[in-house]
Structure 1
Amino acid sequence: MLKKGKLVAVVPVYNESDLIKDTIDGLKTIETIDEIVIVNDGSTDNTLDICKSLGVTVIDIETNQGKGHAIKKAIESITFDFLALVDGDLGKTSWEIKKLIGPIINGKGDVSIAKFPKAEVKGGFGLVKGFAKKSVYYFTGVQMDTSLSGQRVYRKEVLERIDYIPNRYGIELAMTVQTINNGYLIIEVPVTMKHRFTERNLKGFIHRGKQFWDILKTSIILYIRKYKR
């Protein structure tokens, strides 16, 4: 791999005390990553203390404001030429971000997105994922399976042309739509990463409900933006 420029991995976290160390350990095995930045988004457990012990850059947000806000805060605070976005619950499977980095730093695409294997057990994600997939197609005419995947690598130029990043769960949908409509090439990369499973219980359905609502709001805003121009 020939990399020209600085690659920073940004890891937004909220109450990830059980997995954040393993996630960072996995990222530390990737030689092409120049800096790791954790954004603690108002965690109420001991996530912040653990993050501070890992020997990486830590940005602390006192109150939880959402994944999108955390990523915007990081982008404003760091210098980079390539940006990897990594969820904090991947554990040691985070090393597979390496598969996403290669195509981008070698000029084969502008953005790479992790394509997870099909879940063996349903976690109530189908409705949300299906709606997001249809939204991407409606706004771009492109069929994608990874519109909600948070594991991504961007060239800086792509991010400089994205002017709408929602604060919460709509971030992936909004960034995907704008990336495609700005004429950039997205590569979907198969991975075997694992992340926290959202169970089919009351807590899980509340989480999915919030996620669906945020994605619906994002779609409405994208619709308004489309027809205002």
Structure 2
Amino acid sequence: MQPSVSIIIPAWNEDEKIIETLHSLHVLRNREGKEKWNEIIVVDDGSEDETYEKAKEWSDIIIRHSQNMGKGASLESGWKKAKNEIIVFLDADLGPTANLTSKLVAPILEDDMDMAIARFPKVNKKAGFGFVKKLAVNGIYWLSGYKTTAPLSGQRAMRKSLLESISLSDGFGIEVGLTIDAVKKGFQLCEIDIAFKHRETGRDWAGFKHRGKQFISVSRTLYHKWRDPVC
């Protein structure tokens, strides 16, 4: 019998998108069986909108932080509450493409991988200039020897034993830290192309501000992983 899956969705002010994402996961559940997809956990990270109220009806478990604590803390709260052997991290804004999550879990079930990372398709919209991604790619390779093409992807499936052996970083550097620690601990990782879609930042002030924060956070994570390696 295949192991069951717990899906963890961190959410901060996502009331416009989260219902569509959760509804899509219920479509997946109805298609493939609730016995396998039996736990959807939403972590409302101190939202100031109606994220909690809207997500409550569509979640098996909902956790509410009294204040914004960051993505790392949200994922930590979620997976530690999970009961299943396979843990999936998903963003709250995947919308109807969330029902593709079965493709993300497949390498864990079929190929004996410990972590699968989703590679998003290319988008037509011009975003940044790639500085953050290059920093993350080079930093991960320098510190772990792993060559990645999706260093910042938050859509990941993994075994709970992997999470139990490391500590999650915080901020926008969480995926970078997770990749480095997993490789250095000897876990098997793979990347897989999945047609997920989510909110894209553009070449406007909000987009550059977001990527600036991301660059700083990834730099900080790389520094800490260099100074205090997991092993």
For the aligned pair, the TM-score class normalised by the smaller chain equals: over 0.9
1:150-189 equivalences under 5 Å are 150-162=154-166, 164-189=167-192
**Contact 2:41–2:59 under 8 Å retained in 1:** no
What residue number does 1:207 align with? 210
What residue number does 2:136 align with? 132
- Secondary structure of residue in 1 paired with 2:15: coil
Q: Aligned-pair distance for 1:113?
A: 0.6
TM normalised by structure 2 equals 0.92
Name the CA distance, whole Å, in 2 between partners of 1:86 and 1:170.
16
Structure 1 residues 160 and 94 mapped into 2: Cα distance closer, same or farther (>3 Å)?
same
Aligned length in residues: 225
Name the CA distance, whole Å, in 2 between partners of 1:19 and 1:167.
23
**Contact 1:123–1:198 under 8 Å retained in 2:** yes
What residue number does 1:9 align with? 7
Runs of 4+ residues deviating >3 angstroms: none
**Contact 1:68–1:168 under 8 Å retained in 2:** yes
**Contact 1:26–1:94 under 8 Å retained in 2:** yes
Of 89, 98, 103 in structure 2, the residue corresponding to residue 85 of structure 1 is: 89
Name the CA distance, whole Å, in 2 between partners of 1:76 and 1:108.
23
Q: Aligned-pair distance for 1:200?
A: 1.4
- Secondary structure of residue in 1 paired with 2:172: coil
Q: Aligned-pair distance for 1:76?
A: 2.4
What residue number does 2:24 align with? 26
**Contact 1:180–1:186 under 8 Å retained in 2:** yes
Structure 1 residues 140 and 36 mapped into 2: Cα distance closer, same or farther (>3 Å)?
same
1:27-46 equivalences under 5 Å are 27-30=25-28, 31=32, 32-46=36-50
What residue number does 1:66 align with? 70
- The one-letter amino acid of 2:227's match is I
TM normalised by structure 1 equals 0.93
Name the CA distance, whole Å, in 2 between partners of 1:97 and 1:78.
17
- Residue segments in structure 2 that go unaligned for 5+ positions in a row: none
Name the CA distance, whole Å, in 2 between partners of 1:176 and 1:47.
29
- Residue segments in structure 1 that go unaligned for 5+ positions in a row: none
> Superposition RMSD on alpha carbons, in Å?
1.5
> For each residue in 1:183-221, what CA deviation from the matched residue of structure 2 results, as whole angstroms up to 9, or x when unmatched?
111111101111001121111111111111111110000
Q: Aligned-pair distance for 1:80?
A: 2.1
